[in-house]
Amino acid sequence: MTTTPIPTMEEMLKEKPRSLWYYSWKRLKRNRLAMAGLVVTFLIILVAAFASFLAPFDPNLQVLEYATKPSGFKGNVILRTNELQGREPIPVPIQSFTIQGDQIIMITDEGNTRKLALSKLAGSSESDWHKEPNYYLGTDRYGRDVFSRLMYGARVSLTVAFFSELLSIVIGVLLGALAGFYRGWVDDILMWFTNVVWSIPPILLVIAISIALGLGFVQTVIAIGITGWVDMARIVRGQFFSLRETEYVEATCALGFSNMRAIFKHVLPNATGPIIVIATAGFATAIIYEASLSFIGLGVQPPTSTWGQMIYDGYGFIAAGSNWGLTIYPALAIMLAVFAFNLFGDGLRDALDPKLKR
């Protein structure tokens, strides 16, 4: 076991002055769990951002003949042109086919014989219109690819979490900064309001706001965002209580600069560390809230793919003792995303602690 040598006083004096972020990054890199969480988080973000290129299927493409197929199922389809302009070709599941003249004779998945003109196939060669798709994680009850829906579900969950947490940050920072800087009756009123919101179970408040606003993507973002700011406001208030008494803030006020300049230009930048940590934890919580709303039908509406909606669509199969993956796969995706964000958040909290500069 090797130990890191302690730098001598002479080495410390020769060292070039660095910022807090430099030392924070060095401490973060030494935390293996935090770096693992950062890597997983980065991979999930990449999957969500490039789902259109990575997903093997359209997440809403239904092949009813392939409903509730197991993981690793391999299909056999003929692609027929769609009469609706601009639409994707229609897959026709088959057992086998033969070509006779200008027609293709297919034995469908149900065992029926069907004829189709070659001109109605999607492409000019067999490699264009004959496919054997792999359903790596199987299909749901509508014959949609679970793997593709998981990828697009990551996009929805992360987007909702990002914008809702951004809204929470704006509300929490604003209220916490005003309460901590002005104190007195301003602090009393804002903290009274904060405690009232804090006394209501968050998930119940999210459900109530969702019902009041209606269903949809924007409504879900607002419902989660305006209920997740309490912790942010309390942390920012505590930071402003201590930072307000520093010499540079007193000098700013003595020079006649406005309170808004002192708050946003001098005090707030020095409170960014705790804000980032709380935002990371809030991001993970927002993913859970979004999944919960989608599970009970109050979040982003079908046919948009979301992890919560996928769990709802598949949980009935657990009771039937079949196709457990329809629930297990999205549940594992939520668990992995939340766990990764929490690991990264815990490591970030330790890395931003100025007491651990060395």
**pTM of the predicted structure, to 2 decimals:** 0.84
Q: Is 139 exposed, middle or buried (0-12, 13-18, 19+ CB in 10 A)?
A: buried
Calpha distance 150→173 (Å, rounded): 33
Least confident of 11-20, 76-85, 234-243: 11-20
Secondary structure (DSSP) of 87-106: PPPEEEEEEEEEEETTEEEE
Q: pLDDT tens, 190-221? A: 999 999 988 888 888 898 888 888 888 899 99
Calpha distance 273→288 (Å, rounded): 24
**Averaged confidence pLDDT in the chain:** 85
Three-state SS for 104? strand
The tokens of 250 are what? 């007193």
pLDDT confidence bin for 2, thresholds 50/70/90? low
Calpha distance 100→158 (Å, rounded): 51
Calpha distance 211→219 (Å, rounded): 9
Helix 325-351 × helix 32-49 angle, to 10°: 130
Nearest to residue 313, comparing CAs of 116, 87, 62? Answer: 62
Decide: 252 and 261 in contact? Cβ < 8 Å: yes
Neighbour count for residue 105 (Cβ, 10 Å): 14
Secondary structure (H, E, C), 145-177: EHHHHHHHHHHHHHHHHHHHHHHHHHHHHHHHH
Neighbour count for residue 109 (Cβ, 10 Å): 17
| The residue to which tokens 């931003």 are assigned | 352
Q: Given this model, what pLDDT does residue 46 score?
A: 94
Torsion angles phi and psi, residue 84, rounded to 5: -80, 120
Q: Given this model, what pLDDT does residue 357 score?
A: 47
Calpha distance 140→69 (Å, rounded): 7
The tokens of 356 are what? 């651990």
Secondary structure (DSSP) of 205-250: HHHHHHHHH-SSHHHHHHHHHTTS-HHHHHHHHHHHHHHTTSHHHH
Evaluate if residue 289 carries a pLDDT over 70. yes
Nearest to residue 218, comparing CAs of 170, 286, 159? Answer: 159
Mean pLDDT of 17-31: 73
Q: Given this model, what pLDDT does residue 358 score?
A: 46
Q: Please tell me the number of Cα atoms within 13 Å of 308 on its side-chain side.
A: 22
Q: pLDDT tens, 69-81? A: 888 999 888 888 8
Decide: 326 and 280 in contact? Cβ < 8 Å: no
pLDDT confidence bin for 255, thresholds 50/70/90? confident
Q: Please tell me the number of Cα atoms within 13 Å of 212 on its side-chain side.
A: 9
- CA-to-CA separations, 224 to 74, 158, 163, 183, 227, in angstroms, rounded: 40, 13, 9, 28, 6
Helix 230-243 × helix 146-182 angle, to 10°: 40
Mean pLDDT of 175-194: 90
